[in-house]
Amino acid sequence: MPDTPTRSTAVWVTVALGALGMVGVHVTLYLSYFYTPTQVTPGTLWVVTPDSGAPISLYESYRIFFIHLPSAYTTAACCGLTALGGVMYLLSRKPKWELLIVSAAETGLAVGAMVLLTGTLWADYAWGSGRLGSGWNWEARLTTMLILWLAFAALLVLRRAIDQPRQRSLATAVYGILLGPLYPLVSKAVDINRTSHPRSFSDLLSAPEIATTQRIASVGVVIALLSLVALRYTWNSVGNNLNTERAA
Amino acid sequence: MPTQPNAPAKPSAAAAFMALLGREVLVEWRTKSLISSMGLFALLCVVVVGLGARSLPSDDTLHRFVLAMLWVCTVFAAIVGLNRAAVADQRKGLIYALLLAPHDPALLYLTRVVSVLAFLLVTQSLMILAAIPLLKLTLFDDPLILAVIVMADIGVLAPGVLLASITGRARGGEALLTILLMPVIVPVFLGATGATDALQPGQDPAAATAYLLLLGICDAMFAALGLLLFGRLNEG
């Protein structure tokens, strides 16, 4: 079968990324609870609240960044992968690129939910009243991230609405390309008007233990989350082959 | 392949564009399909916004809220128009007949963007005329607002025409176009509402520059993607 080597490669990539990711997540969790300090003396983070600018003490709350930031990086990677898959599909018409778009969108949907959830929980503490959802204030970074998450869902809904496989593949590729510019918008959203979301984490990262843990989390957790793309790719590839064999 | 001596000459791109645009205008003139549906929808939106805001104090905040709501109405009126145009194209495979034209399919895309833009501008004129007395709208203190309107409309229609050609052949296409288009045009909506707000009396007009730049980037990017992808999307 012509695509067997590709699937075999995908399985190995999944296993390798998954194993590395598991190690990375465990090391990150260990460091974030037993290595980093509780009270961040130099690492207060300047947050512009909707009312006024003020530095806030982070205490234990900053530990959520070790999940939040890598999840955001992975969502960015998923957005880039959908655009890359779209371009490559239109150029080569190889089904593997369509699989990449779908896998990246599915993972982007799951990981984007983690970004929104962890971000909202922290915002409730940072500038909300502590009640669930009180930190959501419709500022540009939060809203654009939510829109990106909805766009991943829209791509998956689009695929379910088109029966003809060739049209479905083309539509997926085109919408994948249109998703591409959304993450740069999310990234630049902190520069639009006043924003509650921190513009920089440099204050926080000036504590060496936190900087080290953050670097390890940025690699380990991102690898773990990207292994989900590889897992979904392999899963979808097997599903496609089964459908082809059933139809034959 | 040698050209047959009696074969008609291929029309220039400009002539083909004018012919296709003429067809769009003629069809609209005869059916009144797009402007009537978009216009009626926009007028109903103005009434609904007025009803929703009737108990609010008539101050600067209300004025800015109304301006933002008019952009929401514009986006949904554009979606109504794009859906009607896409359904008409798919009926009896008309889109495939149009694609037989001896030119790049991008020309067909460009024609559709220009024609729906013209119809949307007519719709917006009606909506603004209705909003001036009903919503106490004062929109034209700064003529630059006209550029914002045209740029934002292009930013909505450039991806809209592309996506409508996808949803026209999908199940539940009309709802699907809204679902697909809204996330993509968020930067355009952000630019349009931001620039409109910055150009109001008492605001800093220099703040509009960044939003105009955002609109310009979105227009160029979406138009380029549409011109490149429309043919590939409709091939076969």
Q: What is the pLDDT of residues A14-50, one digit of tens each?
A: 999 999 999 999 999 999 888 887 755 444 455 544 4
Q: Please give the model's pTM, rounded to 2 decimal places.
A: 0.87
Residues B70-75 have a mean pLDDT of 91
CATH number at residue A167: 1.20.120
CA distance B98 to chain A (A): 18
Q: Domain of residue A26: give its range.
A: 4-247
Contact A174 B232 (CB under 8 A): yes
A141-170 in b/e burial notation, b at 16+ Cβ within 10 A?
A: bbbbbbbbbbbbbbbebbbebbeeeebbbb
Q: With 0-12 CB in 10 A as exposed, 13-18 as middle and 19+ as buried, what is B1?
A: exposed
Residues A195-214 have a mean pLDDT of 76
**Cβ pair A214, A65 in contact under 8 A:** yes
Is the CB of B186 inside 8 Å of chain A's CB atoms?
Answer: yes
pLDDT tier, A1 (very low <50, low <70, confident <90, very high otherwise): very low
CA distance B183 to chain A (A): 5
- Cα–Cα distance list, A42 to A28, A218, B178 (Å): 21, 21, 47
The closest CB to that of A167, out of B163, B169, B186, belongs to B169
Q: How far is CA B149 from the centre of its chain?
A: 10
Q: What is the pLDDT of residues A186-200, one digit of tens each?
A: 888 777 766 678 776
Residues of B in contact with A150 (CB under 8 A): 182-183
- Residue to mutate among B177, B184, B215, B222, with most A CBs inside 10 A, is B184
pLDDT tier, A2 (very low <50, low <70, confident <90, very high otherwise): very low
- Is the model's pLDDT at B129 over the cut of 70? yes
Is ipTM > 0.90 here? no
CA distance B158 to chain A (A): 11
Number of domains in chain A: 1
- The predicted pLDDT at position A103 comes to 96
pLDDT tier, B203 (very low <50, low <70, confident <90, very high otherwise): confident
